[in-house]
Structure 1
Amino acid sequence: MHILLVASAFNSLTQRVHAELRDHGHHVSVELALGADSLTDAARRHRPDLIIAPMLKTAVPREVWSTHTCLIVHPGPVGDRGPSSLDRAVQEGARHWGVTVLQADAEMDAGDVWAFAECPLPELAKSDLYRGEIADAALRAVLLAVERFASGTYAPTPQTTHRTRPYLRQDERRIDWANDSTDRVLRVLRAADSQPGVRDELLGGVWFLHGGHREDRLRGRPGELLATRAGAVCRATTDGAVWIPELRACRAPGEPVPVKLPATLALGDRLPPLPEDPVPAFADPSRSTWSDITYREEGQAGFLSFSFPGGAMSTERCRRLLDAYRAACGRPTSVLVLGGGRDFFSNGIHLGVIEASADPAAESWANITAMDDLVEAVLTTTDRLVVAALGGNAAAGGAMLALAADEVWCRSGVVLNPHYRLMGLHGSEYWTYTLPRRVGPAVAERLTGDALPLSATAAVELGLVDRTLPCAAAEFADETARLAGLLAASPAAPSRIAAKKALRERDEAKTPLAAYREAELALMRATFFDPRAPYHALRRAFVRKEPAAATPAHLARTVPADRRDAPDAVTGLAVQDSTPAAGSCYEEG
C-alpha cells in the first residue's frame, strides 16, 4: 500500500512507524503538519491508500478525513481523550496504559477504534516510556490496524464511553518543595522530563526543570540545593532528595527559545559552592541513586552503561566516558559491553551545549575530537571482545560509536540513523573506516547520502547490526547480560580475540586509523569554522525549536505510481521517498 504519514514532527515514534511499515513492504511518504491547507494539499498530491498520524498536535481537516481513511495514534486507552494523556498517566502514577489507533473525525480522539494495544508503565520518565513501552504498543496497534484496513472487510468499533481531560498546564505540574514528598516530586518531573519541563524558581531565576532521579542519602532543607554530580544538581524534598540533570531558562519576551543544558552549566555563576558527590566506579546495587555512567561485572563480562539525556554527548561527557572505558579495560574480563541501557544509546555531539557556548565553532571542534578519542579507544581495544548493546535509538556519531565495537546488538524496537547530512556535516568518529567494512562502500554511501532511518531488522539485513533482541525494553539489560555471559564463556572467545588483534594490525598497516581521522576532521573543521556553513543555521533551528515554514523537499517528494512497487536499492523492500527533517535524528527535546 501507499501510506502517507502526517506528523507535527518527525520524532522517534514517527520514524519507527515509518521504518517498520517499510519493512512490511509498504510505500511510505511523510508530510509535516503545518496547517490545514498543507495537509489537504498533501493528501491531494500523494493520493495515498491510507493516512496515518503517529504524532499530531493539530486536528485533521474535514477535507482530508472525509475523503481518506485517516488513522490517529493516541497514546492512551480506548475512551481516553485529550492532549496530555501520557503526561497525566505518569504524573498520576498509572501502572498500566495503552495505545489506541482511531479514525479521524469531526471531534478529536472521538472516532471509531481500529486497534488497541496494552502496555505496562514502569516508574520511569515519560520520554523513556514513549520510546519504549508506548512505542512498542503503538507499533502493535498500527500494524494490526493496517492489516485490518488492507483486508477491506474490517468494521472499526465506535467508542461507547469516554473521558476528555484538558492539557496538563504548569499550575498542575507545580512542585511545592515545602510540602511535596519525593514520590510526588518524581512523578511530576518524570511527566515533563523532555517537554515541557516543570516551571520553577531557583537561585533568583525562573527555570524549567527537566528529568528527575531519586537520591537515597543526601538530606537537607526542602528546596535546598545539596550537591552536584556530572552536571546535575541534587535538591532536597520533605523526605529525601532528587537529582535534576537539566535546566532550561524561562523565555524572555522577544528572545529566542533558550537551550536545554546540564543544570550546573545552565546555572553558571548563580550556582553557590556545592560539594561534588561522585558515586563509586563500580555500581552499588544496594543504593538508590543516580549516575549517568556505571560499571559492573558478572563473571568474565564487564558492563559499562551510560545514559545521557537526549542521547547527547558533550565534550565533558565524552571525556568522562573515555576515562570510565579505560578503567573498564583495566579489569580482567574477556567481554566488555558498552551501553546496555533501555533508552538512547547515543545521538553524538551535544548540539545544545555547542549552541550555548561563547564560541560554538571551538566547542564543536572540542566535542568532535572528544568523540573521536572515545571511538579510537574502542577500535584499538584488542585484548577482549567489545559489544555495543543498543536498548534505544542511535544516530549520527552515536551510531558510528556503536560500529566501533566487534558486535552490535539491538533491541528489536531500535531505530538507527547512521548519517550526518541533515545537520550539514560530513561526520567523523572513523565512520569512513567502520561503515564500509560492515556494509560495503556502495551501501555506506547510500546510507549516509539518503539519510533514511532504519529499523533494527533492516539494519541486520544490511550487516550494520549483528543481532536483534526481540524483548521488551525492561528486559533488555538482563537479556544482554545473559548473552554476554555466554559469549565470555564460549570456547571460541580466545581465538576470536586473537583474530581481531591480527585484523586490526593488518588494517593499520594498510591504512592507519590516524589517516581516516585526519581526513574526516579536515572536512569537519572547515565546516565548524566557516560562519556561512549551513551547519550553524541548522543547529540553531534544531536546538531552539524554530518552526519549519514548509515540509522540507526531501520529505515532501512523491514516487510515481508506476514505481511504488519497485524494490529498494538498499533494503530490497518498497521504494522509499522520504527522510527525516533536518536534525531530527540527533536529539529529542
Structure 2
Amino acid sequence: MRILLIASSYNSLTQRARAELQDRGHAVAVEITPDGAAIREAVVRHAPDLVLAPLLKAVVPRDVWSSRHCLIVHPGPVGDRGPSSLDRAIQDGADEWGVTVLQADEEMDAGDVWATVPFRVPAVGKSDLYRNELSDAAMTAVHLAVERIAAGAAPSPQTGPARARPFLRQEERRISWDQDTETVLRRLRAADSQPGVLDELLGAEWFLHGGHPEDGLRGRPGELLATRAGAVCRATGDGAVWIPELRARTAAGEARACKLPATLALAGRLPELPEPPVPVAAPARGRTWSDIRYREQGPLGVLSFAFPGGAMSTDHCRRLLSAYRAACGRPTSVLVLGGQRDFFSNGIHLHVIEAAADPAAEAWANINAMNDLVEAVLTTTDRLVVSAIGGNAAAGGVMLALAADEVWCRRGSVLNPHYRRMGLYGSEYWTHTLPRKVGPVLAERLTRSARPVAAGAARSLGLVDRVVDCGPGGFSDEITRMAARLASHPGVASRVAAKKAEHEVREARTPLAAHRERELRRMRAIFDDPAAPFHDLRRAFARKEPQSAGSPDSRGAGPAGPADR
C-alpha cells in the first residue's frame, strides 16, 4: 500500500510509524505539513492509497479526507477530544488512557473509529509516556487500522458521550507550592518537555521542565533547598521535588530561550545552596533523584543513566565517564550500560551549545567529552559490556551504544544512526564502530539515507544483537535477568580474553586515535565555519523555530532528528 505520513514535525512517533510500516512492506513517504494547503499539495504529489497523521496540528481539508482514507492518530480514548488530551490525563491523575485511530472528519477528533488501544499510565513525564506506552499502543492501533483498510473493512461510528476539553493553558498548569508533592509532580509531568510550567523563581519567570520526588529534604514551600547534577530541589507542602531543566520566558518577538540544566539557566542568580552527594546507588529508604545510578548483582554491574531528552552535555559526559570508570573498578564480569526506559542517548547537547557564549567552543568541548566516554567503553578489555537501549537513540548516542560488546534494545525502540540532519560529519568513533558492526557498505547507506531504523530491522541489519520483547516498564528487570544469566555463563572468561586479544590486533592495525583524529578534524572545520549549516540547524532545533513544509528526505540536513515528542 502507498502510505503518506503527514505531520507537523518529524517527531518520534512519525519516525517509528515510517520505519515499522516500511518494514511491513508498505511504500511510505513523509511530508511535514504546517497547514491545509501543504497537506493538499502533498496528497496531489504522492497520490497515496492512505494518508496517516501521527502528529498533526493543521486541519485536514475536506477534499482530502472526503476522497480517500485519511487517518488521525489521537492520543486519547474514544470520545476524548481536544489538543491537550495527554496533558490533562496526566495532570488529572488518570491510571489508564488510550490511543484512537480516527477517520478525519469535519469536527476534530469526531470521525469514525478504525482502532483504539488502551494503555496504563505510569508515574512518568508526558514525553516519556508518549514515546513509550503511548507509542506502543499507537503502533498497535495503526497496524490494526491499516490491516482493516486493506481487508476492505469499514470503521465504526463513535458512540457514547463526547468529552470535548479545551487546550490546557498555563493558568490551569500553575503550581501552588504549598500543595502536596504528588499534585506538584502531576503538573510538572504533564508539561515536562512542552510547554513546561510557567513559574516565578529568583526574580524572573521560567518554564519548569521535568520533576522527580524527594523525600529527605524539607523547607518552606517554594524554597530552593539544594542542587544536584544541574538540577534544583524545591520544597512542596509535604516534601520536595527535583527540577532538572528551566527555560527563561522571553518577550514577544524575541527568540525562544533554550531549555537548559537548571543551575546553568540560573547562573548568576542562584544563591549558595548545599549539594548533597549524588546517590549513585539506590537509597535505602525514601525517594530521591539522580540522573546516574549503579547497582550490582553478583558478577553483574548495571550503570544506568537518564538525561532529559537524551541530550548529553559536556558535564553529563564527564560525570558518566567518572561513574563508568568507578563501575569498571568493581569485581564484575559483565557491565550493562543503560537499561532505563526511554531515551538511551541522542549525543551532544544542542541546547547547551546554542546558549553558550561561544557555541563553537562548547560544541568542541562537548564532542571531545563524548569521545572520551566512548573511548573508555571501547578500551574496556577486562569484562563484557552490554549497551541496553530501552527507548530511542540517535547520532552519537547510537555510536556510544555500538562501542559495547553487545547491543540490546527494546522492541519499541527507534535508532537514528546518522548525523546528517544536523549538518554534522559525526564523531564518537563511528567510522570504527559502525562498519565493524554492519559492514562498510551498509554503514555508508545508513549514514547517507538518514532514516530511522526500527528495532526489528536493526536486528536484521546487525546493528543490534538482541531485541527484548517487553513493555517499557519491564525493560530494566528483563535486562537485569538476561545480563545476570550472561554473567554466570562459563564462557564469559574466554570471551573476555578473546576480546582483549582482538583489541590489541586492531590497535596495531589502525589505532582508535587515528579514527578520532580524522573525525574531529572534520567536526572542527564545521564548528569553526560560521556558514556551516550546523549553526542554523542547531538554532532551529534548540529554539523550536518552525519547520518548512516538505519531505525530511528532500530537505537533506534539517532539524528533524530526535524530537521531544
Q: Distance in 2 between matches of 1:338 and 1:152?
A: 47
Matched with 1:147 is 147
Q: For residue 539 of structure 1, report the CA deviation from its aligned partner.
A: 0.4
Q: Secondary structure at the match of 1:48?
A: coil
Q: Secondary structure at the match of 1:57?
A: coil
Verify: 1:549 aligned to 2:525, yes or no: no
Matched with 1:99 is 99
Q: For residue 253 of structure 1, report the CA deviation from its aligned partner.
A: 2.4
**Normalising by the residue count of structure 2, what TM-score does the alignment of the two structures yield?**
0.99
Q: Distance in 2 between matches of 1:158 and 1:228?
A: 50
2:111/2:158 contact within 8 Å kept: yes
Residues 328-352 of structure 1, C-alpha deviation per residue, up to 9 Å, x if partnerless? 0000000000000001000000000
Q: For residue 282 of structure 1, report the CA deviation from its aligned partner.
A: 2.3
Verify: 1:585 aligned to 2:561, yes or no: yes
Residues 103-137 of structure 1, C-alpha deviation per residue, up to 9 Å, x if partnerless? 00000000000001110001111111001100000
Matched with 1:379 is 378
Matched with 1:423 is 422
Q: Structure 2 matches for 1:476-515, cutoff 5 A?
A: 476-515=475-514
- Counterpart residue identity of residue 482, structure 1: R
Matched with 1:129 is 129
Matched with 2:39 is 39
Matched with 2:79 is 79
2:346/2:393 contact within 8 Å kept: yes
2:415/2:452 contact within 8 Å kept: yes
Q: For residue 251 of structure 1, report the CA deviation from its aligned partner.
A: 1.5
- Counterpart residue identity of residue 461, structure 1: S
Q: Distance in 1 between matches of 2:558 and 2:248?
A: 24
Verify: 1:265 aligned to 2:252, yes or no: no
- Measured at CA, do residues 369 and 303 of structure 1 come closer, stay the same or move farther in structure 2, by a change above 3 Å? same
Q: For residue 299 of structure 1, report the CA deviation from its aligned partner.
A: 1.2
Q: Secondary structure at the match of 2:540?
A: helix
Q: Secondary structure at the match of 1:268?
A: coil
- Counterpart residue identity of residue 530, structure 2: P
**Normalising by the residue count of structure 1, what TM-score does the alignment of the two structures yield?**
0.95
Matched with 2:351 is 352
Matched with 2:108 is 108
1:30/1:555 contact within 8 Å kept: no
Matched with 1:10 is 10
2:374/2:400 contact within 8 Å kept: yes
Verify: 1:167 aligned to 2:167, yes or no: yes
2:10/2:563 contact within 8 Å kept: no
1:180/1:237 contact within 8 Å kept: yes
Residues 36-68 of structure 1, C-alpha deviation per residue, up to 9 Å, x if partnerless? 111011111100000100011121111211112
Matched with 1:56 is 56
Matched with 2:441 is 442
1:315/1:367 contact within 8 Å kept: yes
Q: Distance in 2 between matches of 1:115 and 1:587?
A: 25
Q: For residue 552 of structure 1, report the CA deviation from its aligned partner.
A: 4.6
Residues 435-479 of structure 1, C-alpha deviation per residue, up to 9 Å, x if partnerless? 001111010000000101000100000000000001000000000
Verify: 1:456 aligned to 2:455, yes or no: yes
Q: Distance in 2 between matches of 1:131 and 1:549?
A: 24
Q: Structure 2 matches for 1:146-545, cutoff 5 A?
A: 146-177=146-177, 179-545=178-544
- Counterpart residue identity of residue 251, structure 2: A
2:11/2:562 contact within 8 Å kept: no
Q: Distance in 2 between matches of 1:150 and 1:124?
A: 36
Q: Secondary structure at the match of 1:279?
A: coil
Q: For residue 548 of structure 1, report the CA deviation from its aligned partner.
A: 2.0
Q: Distance in 1 between matches of 2:53 and 2:142?
A: 10
2:31/2:549 contact within 8 Å kept: no
Residues 122-169 of structure 1, C-alpha deviation per residue, up to 9 Å, x if partnerless? 111111100110000001000000000000133433344311000000
Q: Secondary structure at the match of 1:554?
A: coil
Q: Distance in 2 between matches of 1:555 and 1:449?
A: 12
1:113/1:159 contact within 8 Å kept: no
- Counterpart residue identity of residue 100, structure 1: T
Q: For residue 96 of structure 1, report the CA deviation from its aligned partner.
A: 0.5
Q: Distance in 2 between matches of 1:432 and 1:50?
A: 39
Q: Distance in 2 between matches of 1:583 and 1:535?
A: 9
- Counterpart residue identity of residue 389, structure 1: A
Aligned residue pair count: 565
Q: For residue 296 of structure 1, report the CA deviation from its aligned partner.
A: 0.3
Q: For residue 555 of structure 1, report the CA deviation from its aligned partner.
A: 4.7
Matched with 1:571 is none
1:312/1:587 contact within 8 Å kept: no
- Counterpart residue identity of residue 443, structure 2: A
- Counterpart residue identity of residue 373, structure 2: L
Q: For residue 25 of structure 1, report the CA deviation from its aligned partner.
A: 0.6
- Measured at CA, do residues 306 and 372 of structure 1 come closer, stay the same or move farther in structure 2, by a change above 3 Å? same
Q: Distance in 2 between matches of 1:284 and 1:359?
A: 39
- Counterpart residue identity of residue 560, structure 2: S
Q: Distance in 2 between matches of 1:229 and 1:584?
A: 31
- Measured at CA, do residues 419 and 285 of structure 1 come closer, stay the same or move farther in structure 2, by a change above 3 Å? farther
Residues 358-416 of structure 1, C-alpha deviation per residue, up to 9 Å, x if partnerless? 00000000000000000000000000000000001000000000000000000000000
- Counterpart residue identity of residue 584, structure 1: A
Q: For residue 553 of structure 1, report the CA deviation from its aligned partner.
A: 6.3
Q: Distance in 2 between matches of 1:241 and 1:180?
A: 10
Q: For residue 274 of structure 1, report the CA deviation from its aligned partner.
A: 0.6
Q: Distance in 2 between matches of 1:354 and 1:157?
A: 49
Q: For residue 285 of structure 1, report the CA deviation from its aligned partner.
A: 4.8
2:401/2:407 contact within 8 Å kept: yes
Shifted more, 253-262 versus 324-333: the winner is: 253-262
Q: Distance in 2 between matches of 1:41 and 1:584?
A: 20
2:52/2:72 contact within 8 Å kept: yes
Residues 263-299 of structure 1, C-alpha deviation per residue, up to 9 Å, x if partnerless? 0000110111111122233222533111000000011
Q: Distance in 1 between matches of 2:286 and 2:430?
A: 38
Q: Secondary structure at the match of 1:41?
A: helix
Q: Distance in 1 between matches of 2:493 and 2:251?
A: 60
- Counterpart residue identity of residue 37, structure 1: A
Query: Over aligned residues, Cα RMSD in angstroms?
Result: 1.2
Q: Distance in 2 between matches of 1:18 and 1:468?
A: 19
Q: Distance in 1 between matches of 2:30 and 2:277?
A: 45
- Counterpart residue identity of residue 39, structure 1: I
- Measured at CA, do residues 6 and 322 of structure 1 come closer, stay the same or move farther in structure 2, by a change above 3 Å? same
Q: Distance in 2 between matches of 1:357 and 1:379?
A: 30
- Counterpart residue identity of residue 240, structure 1: G
Shifted more, 152-161 versus 27-36: the winner is: 152-161
2:386/2:404 contact within 8 Å kept: yes
Verify: 1:20 aligned to 2:20, yes or no: yes
Residues 192-233 of structure 1, C-alpha deviation per residue, up to 9 Å, x if partnerless? 000000000000000000000000111000000000000000
- Counterpart residue identity of residue 505, structure 2: R
2:32/2:552 contact within 8 Å kept: no
Residues 78-106 of structure 1, C-alpha deviation per residue, up to 9 Å, x if partnerless? 00001000000000110011100010000
Unaligned runs of 5+ in 2: none
Q: Secondary structure at the match of 2:267?
A: helix
